Structure 1
Amino acid sequence: MKPLHSLVLPALLVLSGLPAGAETDVTPGLWSYEASAALGPIPMRDQGTRCVDPKMAEASYESLFNDINPNCQITDGREASDGYHFTLQCAGGPDGMLSGRLIVGGNSASLSATGWTGAGENNVPVILSASAKKLSPSCS
């Protein structure tokens, strides 16, 4: 499994571009993130910063998401007054499903999701909570 930091910020950035194929509305710059997750009984926490370069900011929703895991896709997504609600399905390793909500406002984003991962009858519950905020318009 990829480290939590390699999944959370890209997921926040990817999910902020609502329809598949659309460009995201994330701007380039230095972003910070904080995340907590539970993979079954195993808690995980991560925080840090990541540079969002112009190429990533201009990339399509689909291409960014495929960078996280090409075996996953949003199967149900809708924009509502309280955020973007989604279902993410993964098959072909690791298998799983997450249902959650993303709230994007200006230079910040938050994500909460629950679901499972595993194979066959060995599914493990997953709980994810994350936030990101833009710290600076440049990464230097």
Structure 2
Amino acid sequence: MTARIFALGLSALTFSGSAFAQSNVAEGLWSYQARYMIGPIPAGDRGQYCVGSDMSQSSFDQLFNDINSRCRVTDSETTADGYDFKLQCSGGPDGELDGKLQVGADTAILNATGWTGTASENVPVMLTATAERVASTC
């Protein structure tokens, strides 16, 4: 769950600043770096992601719902400084994340906390990721 969240979550990067349903993702090549903790185990990833026109027309909720067929946004709000969300996954692996995606001109920061495992035996999850648009085309 966690690896797909930062890869697709960070592809939902630039947003117009107003509270529209559309994400207005800027097309192009984005470079991301993520650090996360699953329980006491630190991990990280970095890479690049191409944002195409289909993604640029999607809402933040659609983008996060596309992460995994078992995950759904259960609550979200677009604010002046970003997108707040609650993502729940069930059917393996189970989990829940509360997060915030803050965006600027060609940069973004994603912070989320939650758990994975089962509702009765869960492991804490913390995620921090940043992204920068490095080119207007892929």
TM range (shorter): 0.7 to 0.9
CA distance in 1, matches of 2:113, 2:80: 20
CA deviation string 1:66-117 (max 9, x = no partner): 3311222222222334432221111222211111211011211111111101
CA distance in 1, matches of 2:48, 2:93: 26
Identity %: 47
Other-structure match for 1:105: 104
CA distance in 1, matches of 2:5, 2:78: 22
Q: Which runs of 5+ in 2 are unaligned?
A: none
1:31-70 residue pairs with structure 2 within 5 A? 31-70=30-69
Report SS of the residue matched to 1:68.
Answer: coil
The TM-score normalised by the length of structure 1 is 0.81
Bigger share in helix: 1
Q: Are 1:114 and 1:128, in contact at CA under 8 Å, matched by a contact in 2?
A: yes
Q: Which runs of 5+ in 1 are unaligned?
A: none
Q: CA RMSD in A?
A: 2.5
Q: Structure 1 residues 15 and 31 mapped into 2: Cα distance closer, same or farther (>3 Å)?
A: closer
Q: Are 1:77 and 1:84, in contact at CA under 8 Å, matched by a contact in 2?
A: yes
The TM-score normalised by the length of structure 2 is 0.82
CA distance in 2, matches of 1:31, 1:85: 21
Other-structure match for 2:10: 12
* Matched positions, count: 135
Q: Which amino acid aligns with 2:11?
A: L
Other-structure match for 1:76: 75
Q: Structure 1 residues 65 and 81 mapped into 2: Cα distance closer, same or farther (>3 Å)?
A: closer
1:84-95 residue pairs with structure 2 within 5 A? 84-95=83-94
Task: Tell me which moved more, 127-136 or 65-74.
Answer: 65-74
